[in-house]
Structure 1
Amino acid sequence: MKLILLSGGSGKRLWPLSNDQRSKQFIKLLQNGSEYESMVQRVWRQIESINLHDDTFIATSSNQEAILKKQLEIGDNQIIVEPSKRDTFAAIALASSYLYSKLGVSKDEVVIISPVDPYVTETFFSAFLKLEQLLLESDFTIGLIGIEPTLPSEKYGYIVPLKENSCEISEFVEKPNKDYAKKLIDKGAMWNAGVFAFKISTILNILVEKNITVDYDELLLNYEQLPKNSFDYEVVEKQENIGYLKYSEYWKDLGTWNTLTDEMSVNKVGNMIEMIDSPNTHVLNELDIPVAVLDIPNAVVSVSSDGILVSSKEESPRVKEIPKTFFQKKAYSEELWGTKKQLTFTDDIEVILYEMENEKELEITMCENSKLLKLSGTGHIFYNDSNKIIDEQLVVGSNNKKVLVQSVSKFKFLIIVEK
């Protein structure tokens, strides 16, 4: 069995801490002992605990590759990078082709697809082994995991069992409206947990039927030919021979501020936070500025370089209604070498703070209007065409000349660009 985790997201649901590079699965807000971990780190730790990590791969976009490598101890050959974002069918097709044509995995191998960030216990991933057996011992072409619904929701697909205590499905409905979802629940329907199981041959056959190559390298070159559609709509709704397993233990989608804060063990994360008479309110502050909250109960206050959100918890899922321009300025990003944070948003000057970790390298192009100002830590700066270290505290750019920055210890500096 091979496990493929899908890592994507536009970074809107947990704005302003999340953006399209640091989506919700990468935000470190869940406590693990004395430290904080992200959702993806939690899931990877659980997968390691049941020894599935060597057979686990992550399908993601290029802008999330660096942060994945930074947060997880994962090999380069376990990350499958999509050339562009084309929804889950394309991502799953590319990953299946990678396993088959690059790694030589058998067509008869069972592949399990899962979101990269379910909030579950280890038993959820152990259930994948049972799902594999269901496919191997039956004629089902697709296997799913069903979750007992707590309310009619438009966020999930619905699995309608053929009959009680049966593994067969009579109907699969992807994201119905609330009224229809209620009718489905009355018929015994369950939420689809976002998990799909199939033999590699199933996906390869679908690609062949669509006259799309199954060779990984060719598929990369012709990626735009793949339908831009979810796997649920493109495959699952069209299949007739689908089985499922019911999962009855703890499962939760931490996709909004109200669901995430429910699972946080503290209500203040960050520096210089003061709350007075604000029960059940959470404050998360990534900046070095004071944040005070007075008499605001049941709220979330989130502060980052990308913006500030103040919302009641009940209405926090409406963050997607914020104007699109708010999401377009990605002021914070995590890279293999450290972090980058934009400090200004004016038309005449741009100031970006770079914080490099120990013994890292970074190449920067310096235009005529740019300056590099060293702040703290130990690092060396060279022009790319010279081995001579630049000793000056302030380095002035010229003619788009490239400089190489090497950190010895944690090295902090500014890039200032006058427009």
Structure 2
Amino acid sequence: MDKMPVEADFSKCPGGVNPATRKPSLIHLVLLSGGSGVRLWPLSNESRSKQFLKVLRDEQGRPVSMVQRVLAQIGQASANVDVTIATCISQENSIRSQVEGEYSLVLEPERRDTAPAIMLACAHLAMEQGVREGDTVVVMPIDTYADQEYYDRVTLLDRAVQSGAADLVLLGVEPTCPTGKYGYIVPTSREGSLWPVERFTEKPSVEVAQTLVENGALWNCGVFAFRLGYMTNITRKHVEAESFDELRGRYSSLPKISFDYEIVEKANSIAVVPYAGTWKDLGTWNTLTDEMAEAYSGRVVVDEPTCENVHVVNETGFPLVVAGLSDSVIVATPDGILVSGKEASANIKVQVAKAAETRPMYEKRRWGEYRVIDSSVFPDGRKALTKELVVRQGRQLSYQRHMRRSEVWTIVSGEGEAVLDGEVRKLLPGSVVNVEKKTMHAMRAFGCDLHAIEVQLGDILVEEDIERFGNYWN
């Protein structure tokens, strides 16, 4: 990175306007909702990412997810912002079910890392939302655990960008200890409220981290601010597109690389706004359990005289007994069982990846939820997958079809309707519906939840074998 001087006092905006008196403009906040949080397996997986787990509490003591907590804090921020959420297709249902209010949703056609995800979101701002190239864009993770001041800092980031002090402005966290878990931002000085950046150090050893902290380095928390035109110009160097749909269709042409490596380390001028409040990455069990409101969840019996600093989550219907453990986490779900020391839980990514190779056994959807009961492979190569579906009252499965499998629905309880190629039939307890391959079909629940057993039959049984056509019923 070529180092350039940075004006640290926000003395002038373009055109000689003082930022302190500049009329507040709309700041465009891009929230990245990416990874699946595999280090929180088996509670978190590809279909149920960590940011959607309701393990935190709001001010009224109600359970909330990381996503809901972050959006609530953004709503309380002093900045004038709109929100765009950049995520992958597999997280669309979770986002729509948990995020209320006005926001834009940008879906990656495939996962390619943070640089292309941010490029796609910025293209949506420019081409679909009509945002001006001179407006400020602030990119933040959607699953940060921080104080309200962290989100109020968005105003300072906007002022720094609009002052022309640097092409790229970061938010840096004052370290509370030397650690090798995070990257570091090394400023050339610590004067004023905006510091020029000299260089970056990515996840150093504890010894190097100690030296960095002593020399005034900050943790890199993954917050970036820039003018929209700065990013759209970079995107054009990779893909020239006349519309957002064209760019999204050529998404695989964008570089599969992180924003830090592709953009930050190549920037000509970078500055950082410091933040000294609470900031945590709740990506491992030892950090998440520090903020969990309840030590035990589910059908759990703990011998408390012999246990200390133990957290237990049991999502199965089986009783779970814990005795003689300390500084540990025990998690049991339909997808698997984890027993680990809290400190060791931060370093089991490889082991978890091996254990999580099978498909998710439980998933929540906008229409309800499903749980895999059984999976079989027969001598002739045919496969069978049995699920328990719960369609919530008044909701419906999308009108859809499958190319590689047939399905049989047996209604266990509740009432509703099914549709097969436009023909609607009533559903009651005991009803059986045969859905052949390529048949358009949907199901909805009436006055109460509809419980059904679904048996899938075919040579390939995957969630990707589905083509949706919106809702059949309004």
Q: What range describes the TM-score normalised by the shorter chain of this pair?
A: over 0.9
- Give the partner amino acid of 1:327: A
- Give 1:105-120 correspondences, 5 Å limit: 105-120=131-146
Structure 1: how far apart are the matches of 2:420 and 2:236? 51
Does the CA contact (< 8 Å) of 1:160 and 1:188 recur in 2?
yes
**Residue of structure 1 aligned with 2:110, choices 52, 60, 84:** 84
**Residue of structure 1 aligned with 2:283, choices 244, 249, 255:** 255
Q: Which piece of structure 1 moves more, 229-238 or 401-410?
A: 401-410
- Give the partner amino acid of 2:333: S
**How far did residue 385 of structure 1 move?**
3.6
**Which deviations, in whole Å up to 9, do the C-alpha atoms of 1:49-74 show, x marking residues without a partner?**
23769601100000101110001114
- Secondary structure of 1:280's aligned partner: strand
**Which deviations, in whole Å up to 9, do the C-alpha atoms of 1:107-165 show, x marking residues without a partner?**
00000000001101222111111111112124311111111223444442211111132
1:191 corresponds to: 219
Q: Which piece of structure 1 moves more, 125-134 or 345-354?
A: 345-354
**Residue of structure 1 aligned with 2:391, choices 356, 364, 367:** 356
Q: Which piece of structure 1 moves more, 408-417 or 241-250?
A: 408-417
- Give 1:47-58 correspondences, 5 Å limit: 47-50=74-77, 55-58=82-85
Gapped runs of 5+ residues in structure 2? 1-26, 379-383, 459-474
Structure 2: how far apart are the matches of 1:373 and 1:55? 45
Q: Which piece of structure 1 moves more, 152-161 or 85-94?
A: 152-161
**Residue of structure 1 aligned with 2:444, choices 401, 406, 414:** 406
1:374 aligns to 2:411 (yes or no): yes
1:175 corresponds to: 203
- Give 1:67-82 correspondences, 5 Å limit: 67-75=94-102, 78-82=104-108
2:52 corresponds to: 26
**Which deviations, in whole Å up to 9, do the C-alpha atoms of 1:193-227 show, x marking residues without a partner?**
11000001111222234454474222111111111
- Give 1:207-218 correspondences, 5 Å limit: 207-210=235-238, 212-213=240-241, 215-218=243-246
1:103 aligns to 2:142 (yes or no): no
1:4 aligns to 2:30 (yes or no): yes
Structure 1: how far apart are the matches of 2:241 and 2:177? 41
- Secondary structure of 2:46's aligned partner: coil
Structure 2: how far apart are the matches of 1:369 and 1:62? 24
CA 249–392 in structure 1, closer or farther in 2 if over 3 Å, else same: closer
- Secondary structure of 1:344's aligned partner: strand
- Secondary structure of 2:339's aligned partner: strand
Structure 2: how far apart are the matches of 1:53 and 1:10? 30
Does the CA contact (< 8 Å) of 1:145 and 1:195 recur in 2?
yes
- Give 1:316-327 correspondences, 5 Å limit: 316-322=345-351, 324-327=353-356
Q: Which piece of structure 1 moves more, 357-366 or 134-143?
A: 357-366
Gapped runs of 5+ residues in structure 1? none
- Give the partner amino acid of 1:404: A
> What is the Cα-based RMSD across aligned positions, in Å?
2.3
**How far did residue 370 of structure 1 move?**
4.4
Q: TM-score, normalised by structure 1?
A: 0.92
Structure 2: how far apart are the matches of 1:315 and 1:307? 18
**How far did residue 373 of structure 1 move?**
2.4
- Give 1:111-150 correspondences, 5 Å limit: 111-150=137-176
1:389 corresponds to: 426
**Which deviations, in whole Å up to 9, do the C-alpha atoms of 1:25-72 show, x marking residues without a partner?**
001111223421110011111112237696011000001011100011
Q: Which piece of structure 1 moves more, 395-404 or 115-124?
A: 395-404
Number of residue pairs matched by the alignment: 417
**How far did residue 319 of structure 1 move?**
2.9
Does the CA contact (< 8 Å) of 1:142 and 1:236 recur in 2?
yes
1:330 aligns to 2:360 (yes or no): yes
Q: Which has the larger radius of gyration?
A: 2
**Which deviations, in whole Å up to 9, do the C-alpha atoms of 1:211-248 show, x marking residues without a partner?**
54474222111111111111111111112311111101
- Secondary structure of 2:294's aligned partner: coil
Structure 1: how far apart are the matches of 2:367 and 2:79? 28
- Secondary structure of 1:343's aligned partner: strand
- Secondary structure of 2:94's aligned partner: helix
Structure 1: how far apart are the matches of 2:76 and 2:393? 29
- Give 1:205-244 correspondences, 5 Å limit: 205-210=233-238, 212-213=240-241, 215-244=243-272
**Residue of structure 2 aligned with 1:301, choices 308, 322, 330:** 330
Structure 2: how far apart are the matches of 1:86 and 1:107? 25
Structure 2: how far apart are the matches of 1:148 and 1:107? 31
- Give the partner amino acid of 1:267: A
2:467 corresponds to: none
**Which deviations, in whole Å up to 9, do the C-alpha atoms of 1:299-351 show, x marking residues without a partner?**
11111111111111111112312153422321122211011211224435522
**How far did residue 96 of structure 1 move?**
0.7
